[in-house]
């Protein structure tokens, strides 16, 4: 195509291209979701359908955007890990972050009526995004552990807070009662006052959500013999497990491999 005299303006463009052989984490987070969840009557402390909506959007991103090998979600946030060997978008920061955040947001609005047929979307939600580049697998693992610990701390606190509020306490009194308490105190309070065993609450609340490609056994019928056979297939799956200890990673060496 012929160049116009205006082409020179391209020279003003600047961009960040991430170093090769480093892990990229794209973290998106709902903007003003404190208000959004209140306006849309989310169940407290955890609206299960809202978490499932987040997971559905994250799966869409996971399957559509190249180079993503792992995703971790809790509350209104999701972290997408781009594999150190990925060349997707030539590792350009602006392209990666803007396409992930816009696809996630449009999926959120797209799937909303399916997940919440009884709840009208009252205003358009938005998400922000950032990318952090981690030079080693060990630091990447620490990043993921940091997010899962955050999920645990927030969930334990929110579970206590909303249990107190639902038992008739004012929000101010509930906050005051929890001030300065340790994890052990909170577990004890839930159990002795309300008969709640924290460790028995759904793991999606306690551990967050993990999206990976993993081997699953599927049954299929052999056309010739009619026999039912089991086959191992690679599928995108959502699980709610501990990712801080080594076990998860040792069982799935292909994820970061
Ligand atoms: P910012 O724009 O700075 O991110 P924010 O209001 O979104 O502000 P966050 O720290 O991201 O603040 O907190 C998210 C809020 O959304 C918290 O109050 C959290 O409890 C709530 N929330 C997120 N997901 C759910 C859910 N599934 N059920 C109930 N509440 C949720
Ligand atoms: P990339 O993802 O790299 O941006 P692209 O397919 O979006 O790839 P663009 O260079 O952005 O490529 O071109 C946008 C395309 O969409 C062009 O083919 C353009 O003609 C078409 N297009 C955009 N808006 C309209 C419109 N209103 N009516 C018809 N065609 C349109
Ligand atoms: Mg937020
Ligand atoms: Mg958040
Ligand atoms: Mg285009
Ligand atoms: Mg390396």
**What is the secondary structure of 88-122 as a DSSP string?**
GGGGBHHHHHHHHHHHHHHHHHHHHHHH-TTS---
> pLDDT tens across 208-222, in order?
999 999 999 999 998
Q: Decide if pLDDT at 178 tops 90.
A: yes
Answer whether residue 197 is part of any domain.
no
Q: Residue 209: CB within 6 Å of ligand 1? A: no
Q: Which ligand is nearest to the CA of 75?
A: 1
Q: Decide if pLDDT at 1 tops 90.
A: no
Answer whether residue 164 is part of any domain.
no
pLDDT band at 101 (very low <50, low <70, confident <90, very high): very high
CA of 81 to the centre of ligand 3 (A): 19
Q: Is 76 annotated as a binding residue?
A: yes
Answer whether residue 103 is part of any domain.
yes
pLDDT at residue 4, as a whole number = 95
| Mean pLDDT, range 229-255, rounded to an integer | 97
Per the prediction, the chain carries an average pLDDT of: 97
Q: Is the pTM of this model over 0.90?
A: yes
> What's the domain count of the chain?
1
Q: Decide if pLDDT at 97 tops 90.
A: yes
Q: Is 75 annotated as a binding residue?
A: yes
How far apart (Å, rounded) are the C-alpha atoms in residues 236 and 245?
Answer: 22
How far apart (Å, rounded) are the C-alpha atoms in residues 187 and 166?
Answer: 17
| Mean pLDDT, range 62-87, rounded to an integer | 98
Answer whether residue 140 is part of any domain.
yes
Specify the ligand 1 atom closest to the Cα of 35.
Answer: 6
Cα angle value 98/75/137 (rounded, 5°): 65
pLDDT at residue 197, as a whole number = 97
Q: Residue 73: CB within 6 Å of ligand 1? A: no
pLDDT band at 124 (very low <50, low <70, confident <90, very high): very high
Q: Is 66 annotated as a binding residue?
A: no
pLDDT over 70 for what percent of the chain? 100
Q: Residue 37: CB within 6 Å of ligand 1? A: yes
In this structure, the residue with its CA closest to atom 30 of ligand 1 is 46
Q: For residues 16 and 96, is the Cβ–Cβ distance under 8 A?
A: no
CA of 97 to the centre of ligand 6 (A): 21
Answer whether residue 11 is part of any domain.
no
pLDDT at residue 2, as a whole number = 79
Domain that holds residue 101: 17-145
pLDDT at residue 91, as a whole number = 98
How far apart (Å, rounded) are the C-alpha atoms in residues 54 and 75?
Answer: 9
Q: Which ligand is nearest to the CA of 34?
A: 1
How far apart (Å, rounded) are the C-alpha atoms in residues 82 and 96?
Answer: 10
Q: Is 30 annotated as a binding residue?
A: yes
Answer whether residue 231 is part of any domain.
no
| Mean pLDDT, range 59-74, rounded to an integer | 98
Answer whether residue 44 is part of any domain.
yes
| Mean pLDDT, range 126-152, rounded to an integer | 98
Q: Residue 52: CB within 6 Å of ligand 1? A: no
Q: Residue 44: CB within 6 Å of ligand 1? A: yes
Q: Is 120 annotated as a binding residue?
A: no
Answer whether residue 107 is part of any domain.
yes
Domain CATH code at residue 100: 3.30.70.3000
């Amino acid at each position: 195509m012929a160049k116009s005299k205006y082409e020179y303006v391209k020279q003003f463009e600047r961009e960040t291209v991430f170093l090769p052989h480093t892990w990229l984490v794209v973290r998106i987070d709902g903007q003003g979701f404190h208000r959004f969840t209140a306006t849309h009557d989310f169940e407290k402390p955890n609206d299960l359908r809202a978490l499932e909506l987040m997971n559905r959007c994250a799966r869409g991103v996971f399957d559509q955007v190249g180079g993503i090998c792992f995703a971790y979600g809790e509350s209104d946030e999701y972290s997408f890990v781009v594999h150190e060997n990925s060349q997707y978008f030539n590792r350009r920061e602006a392209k990666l972050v803007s396409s992930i955040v816009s696809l996630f947001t449009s999926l959120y609005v797209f799937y909303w009526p399916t997940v919440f047929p009884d709840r009208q979307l009252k205003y358009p939600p938005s998400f922000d995004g950032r990318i952090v580049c981690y030079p080693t697998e060990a630091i990447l693992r620490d990043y993921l552990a940091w997010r899962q610990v955050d999920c645990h701390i927030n969930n334990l606190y929110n579970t206590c807070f909303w249990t107190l509020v639902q038992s008739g306490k004012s929000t101010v009194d509930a906050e005051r009662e929890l001030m300065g308490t340790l994890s052990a105190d909170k577990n004890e309070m839930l159990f002795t006052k309300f008969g709640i065993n924290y460790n028995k609450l759904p793991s999606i609340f306690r551990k967050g959500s993990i999206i990976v490609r993993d081997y699953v056994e599927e049954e299929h019928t052999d056309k010739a013999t009619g026999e039912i056979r089991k086959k191992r297939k690679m599928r995108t799956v959502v699980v709610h497990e501990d990712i801080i200890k080594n076990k998860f990673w040792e069982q799935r060496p292909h994820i970061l491999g």
